[in-house]
């Protein structure tokens, strides 16, 4: 009975996210079971065969075959990027594409490739972008021996935070982003309750470490927050360069 009560107390404690606090109150010379909790059991997820493969509970947004999970962000019509091999490729002028489904807090895996033939420089070379919630851009750019403003290169939160390091592979090579995104929250009156946060691994290398985002990405001027829904579509940018994407999956958190 004592143990059962302790499990209940621990569950309450967990719900309050105060495990450490509770643990401090458990006697150090007492029953070790007092600091065990069993319920709820941790959900089982089958990982992919490699870290790039979608795990069992992921929503696959692009598996190399079609753009059925995407639409044109301009007018909601069918996405007009092209399929080449197992990749989707930006078609200049076709515009940004967005997911049909909306997402908030998430883990996102996405692979991208800038053109093998180097054309242009700085921001004009292999530019695209991943807009979390359609608003917060993680820059995609050919940043291999291509100097540009630091908070505009690959792995940057565009016009806000440069990546911790430049982990870029060369033009024409596939690269990966693994992203953990926490959506911003707003009060009923629209005031900001908590800002968005983002962690990013570029080719497996940490480039954004729980970075606090300042607001929706702006090309000109300082960013700020405008209230929006708790879930919004993911957007990929047409910046006029034929950047390719493949193997895109997301796990709502």
| Residues within the interface to Mg ion (CB under 5 A) | 127, 129, 237
CB of 133: closest distance to Mg ion in angstroms? Answer: 16
The C-alpha atoms of residue 37 and residue 35 are separated, in whole angstroms, by: 7
How far is C-alpha 67 from the geometric centre of its chain's CA atoms?
Answer: 19
What is the C-alpha to C-alpha distance for residues 33 and 36, in angstroms, rounded to an integer? 5
Residue nearest to Mg ion (CB): 129
**Phi and psi, residue 9, nearest 5°:** -60, -40
Instruction: Give the C-alpha separation, 167 to 183, whole Å.
Output: 25
CB of 127 to Mg ion, least distance (A): 5
Residues 55/204/178/87 CA torsion (nearest 10 deg):
-80
Given the complex with Mg ion, which of 14 and 91 has the nearer CB atom? 91
Q: Which is nearer to Mg ion, 13 or 237 (CB)?
A: 237
Instruction: Select from 153, 90, 94, 89 the least CA-distant residue to 121.
Output: 153
Shortest Å distance, C-beta 135 to Mg ion: 13
Q: How far is the CB of 80 from Mg ion (least distance, A)?
A: 19
> Which one, 146 or 237, has the nearer CB to Mg ion?
237
Nearer to Mg ion, 34 or 110 (CB): 110
């Amino acid at each position: 009975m004592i143990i059962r009560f302790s499990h209940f107390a621990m569950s309450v404690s967990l719900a309050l996210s105060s495990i450490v606090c509770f643990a401090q109150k458990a006697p150090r010379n007492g029953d070790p079971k007092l600091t065990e909790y069993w319920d709820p059991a941790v959900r089982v997820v089958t990982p992919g065969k490699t870290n790039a493969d979608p795990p069992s509970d992921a929503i696959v947004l692009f598996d190399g075959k079609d753009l059925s999970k995407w639409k044109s962000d301009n007018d909601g019509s069918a996405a007009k990027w092209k399929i080449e091999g197992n990749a989707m490729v930006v078609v200049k002028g076709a515009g940004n594409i967005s997911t049909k489904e909306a997402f908030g807090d998430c883990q996102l895996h996405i692979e991208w490739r800038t053109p093998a033939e180097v054309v242009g420089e700085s921001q004009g070379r292999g530019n695209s972008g991943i807009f979390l919630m359609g608003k917060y851009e993680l820059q995609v750019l050919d940043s291999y021996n291509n100097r540009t403003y630091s908070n505009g290169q690959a792995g940057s939160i565009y016009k806000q935070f440069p990546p911790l390091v430049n982990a870029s592979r060369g033009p024409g090579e596939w690269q990966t982003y693994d992203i953990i995104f926490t959506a911003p929250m707003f009060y009923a009156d629209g005031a900001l309750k908590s800002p968005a946060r983002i962690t990013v691994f570029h080719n497996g290398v940490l480039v954004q470490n729980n970075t606090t985002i300042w607001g929706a990405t702006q090309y000109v001027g300082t960013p700020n927050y405008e209230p929006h829904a708790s879930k919004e579509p993911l957007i990929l940018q047409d910046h006029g360069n034929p950047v390719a994407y493949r193997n895109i999956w997301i796990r709502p958190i």
